[in-house]
Every structure is written in structure tokens, then in C-alpha cells.
Amino acid sequence: MSQIATVKKQTIAPKAATGAPMTAQSTASIGAMVNALVDGEGYRKRFDDLLGKRAPQFVSSIVSMINGDTNLQKAFRDAPITIIQSALRAASYDLPIDPGLGYAYIVPFSNSKKLPNGQWEKRMEAQFIMGYKGMIQLALRTGAYDRINVSDVREGELISYDRLREDAEFEWIDDETERNKRPIIGWVGYFRLRNGMEKTIYMSKSAVEAHERKNRKGEYMGKGWKDNFDAMAAKTVLRRLIGKWGLMSIDYQKADDRTLETATALAKGKLDDLDDMEIEPDAVDDVVSEAPTKSDKPEDAPLPFEDIPPVQDDDMPDFLK
């Protein structure tokens, strides 16, 4: 590890600090250090166990990801293990980490650590964030869903919504040109399982705005919300829909009787398996290219997963059109 730290100082720190473009030599250096770190810490076998023949390609994607983001380069300089652990988390869900695909993200953020001498040290760390498409993917892998979707609701389309029964009535505007002229008043999420069980949730725009204000990590709206509020709102609704009532799995499977019974029990409130399951923090919905200014980590928010093997590391922390 001392050799890795020495190389790291010489190749990454100056370039991350100056913002200079990555050269072929520095790219090769990052690749060598990533592979050395994966081998030196015993992560290679874990990647091989999870991904098989695809493991080398996945490790290469980690290198490409670091090369493309100066803040991830800083995280690799300050806390390289957090990048590897985040990538391992994505691999355990069998989700690609290419940010352009939208399934999973490895996001750099600024964190403060208290040193033994009582002083605080700031450093860049990485954290795994599951994307909108990742949640859809894990839901579809169960084989239990007949339909699943999230849609915005325009002014005049909502006829009624029973908050208790969650019965919603809409009159959709067919003319897309006319529809796009009307303001969005909310978002609706819906799924139907193969056994016929259905679930619908609706969130008004004001409810979504309140959710964003409650969970923002700082005084102002985060970059993700500011740049694409509608997409973030759709992700919030999907999260609530699947997180509370749905099923997800890392394995491709058929919807057997046991899976459907579990889904029905969840929907009827007869089963609560949320206590021991984890997923990415709900408050870090902002997938950003620069580190958030808030230094403390958000609380983890649970979601129900089925048959997800535990990750052994102790300190792991486009949307549907």
C-alpha cells in the first residue's frame, strides 16, 4: 500500500488539483493503481465471484469513470477504497456504473473526518447511488410485474384522488402539443403484478417540493433538482412506489407463487421486511459532477430487496421516458 500511495501522490494529486487533462501516461497510472488496489485488498475475487468473465471489463469501467471526473480523481487520491467499495456494491446488484446509462452512479462528495488529535480533516470520498433505471431493472428482474410506470400529470388531467384507498381517476390529454402547454401539477406511479394486485400513488407538485426541501443537503436546491426537477420528481415517486409496496431482486427469475405471495403481503401491510435492508440514501438524489458542499453523510433509507447477498465491507456507505 505504501507503493500505491507514493505513485498516487506523483500522478493524481497534481492533475486533480490543477484540473489538467488526463494524459495517456496518467490514465495508465490510474489503471495500474486500480488493479493494484483491487488485487492488494482482496477485492478481485469478490468481483470475479459476482461478475465472472465480465469482471475485467467492469474494473476497466472503474478506471474510465475515474479518468472522466476530476472529483473522482480527488476521491481516488483521498479515499480510494470508497470507490472500490461503491463499485463492488454496484456489482453485487449487477448494474453498470457508466453514468451515461443511468442505472447506478459512483458519486464523489466532500466529507469531514475527526482526527485523533481532535482536528478535522476534509477529504473527498465516493458513494454508491442507485439510479432510476436501476430501480426499474431490479423490479423487472423479479418477473412479478405486468406493468410499471411513472407519469407527470398536467393541469386538468386529475379528476379525483382518494388518499385512503389510493384510487385515482385521470382524463389524459391525447394531443401532445396541447398537453405540453399545460403546467405539471403532480406525478403518478403505478404497477400491476401478474397476480392482478395493483398499486397507485400520486404526489402533487407541492408535495414533491416539500420532499426536496426536507431532504436537501444544504441551504439551496441541489444540482440534480435544479437542472432536472421533473426527472427527479419522477424518481421520488418511483422510489416511494417500489420502496413501500414493490419487490426487487438482483436475479432474473420467474414470478413463482412465493414471490407473488410476498408481493401481496407487502401491499396489504402483512409483511415488513424493511428493517434489515439498505439502499442508497434518498437525500442524495442529486447525481453531480462536482462534490456537494455539505460535509456530513445522509442517512440511509431502506428499500425492500429480495435475495440480495450482503456486502462484506463494514464501511460501505434518463429516466423512464
Q: For the chain, how many structural domains are there in total?
A: 2
| pLDDT surpassing 90 at residue 44 | no
Query: Does residue 163 share a domain with residue 119?
Result: no
Compute φ and ψ for 189, nearest 5 degrees. Answer: -120, 145
Residue 199 vs residue 111, higher pLDDT: 199
pLDDT at 109: 85
Last residue within a domain, chosen from 267, 286, 306: 267
289 found inside a domain: no
Average pLDDT over residues 171-199: 94
Task: Enumerate residues 6+ apart whose C-beta is below 8 A from 146.
Answer: 192, 193, 194
283 found inside a domain: no
Which three cell numbers, joined as nine digits, stand for 169?
381517476
Query: Does residue 170 share a domain with residue 247?
Result: yes
pLDDT at 208: 96
pLDDT at 13: 38
pLDDT at 292: 41
Query: Does residue 115 share a domain with residue 14?
Result: yes
| pLDDT surpassing 90 at residue 202 | yes
pLDDT at 191: 95
Which three cell numbers, joined as nine digits, stand for 124?
473527498
User: Where in the sequence is the domain holding 63, given as residue range(s)?
Assistant: 2-131
Query: Does residue 70 share a domain with residue 45?
Result: yes
| pLDDT surpassing 70 at residue 255 | no
Q: Which of 232, 229, 247, 226 is nearest to 282 (CA)?
A: 232
| pLDDT surpassing 70 at residue 186 | yes
Least-confidence region, from 227-241, 267-281, 305-319: 305-319
Query: Does residue 94 share a domain with residue 51?
Result: yes
Task: Enumerate residues 6+ apart whose C-beta is below 8 A from 34.
Answer: 59, 62, 63, 66, 76, 84
The share of the chain scoring above pLDDT 70, in percent, equals: 70
Query: Does residue 250 share a domain with residue 146?
Result: yes
Last residue within a domain, chosen from 101, 131, 161: 131
Query: Does residue 123 share a domain with residue 11?
Result: yes
Whether 198 and 191 have beta carbons less than 8 Å apart is answered as: yes
288 found inside a domain: no
138 found inside a domain: yes
Query: Does residue 220 share a domain with residue 117?
Result: no
pLDDT at 268: 55
65 found inside a domain: yes
Query: Does residue 120 share a domain with residue 154?
Result: no
Residue 173 vs residue 59, higher pLDDT: 173
**225-254 tens-digit pLDDT:** 888 899 999 999 999 999 888 888 888 776
188 found inside a domain: yes
Q: Where are the alpha helices (DSSP H) in the chain?
A: 2-11, 13-18, 24-40, 43-51, 55-67, 70-78, 80-92, 132-140, 176-181, 205-215, 223-227, 229-245, 257-267
Last residue within a domain, chosen from 131, 166, 198: 131
311 found inside a domain: no
pLDDT at 173: 96
Query: Does residue 142 share a domain with residue 24?
Result: no
DSSP secondary-structure letter at 306?
B
279 found inside a domain: no
User: What does pTM read for this prediction?
Assistant: 0.67
Round the average pLDDT of the chain to a whole number and report it: 75
3-state SS class at 171: coil
Query: Does residue 213 share a domain with residue 153?
Result: yes
User: How would residue 293 be classed by pLDDT, with cut points 50, 70 and 90?
Assistant: very low
Beta-bridge mates of residue 145: 193
pLDDT at 279: 44
Query: Does residue 11 share a domain with residue 57?
Result: yes
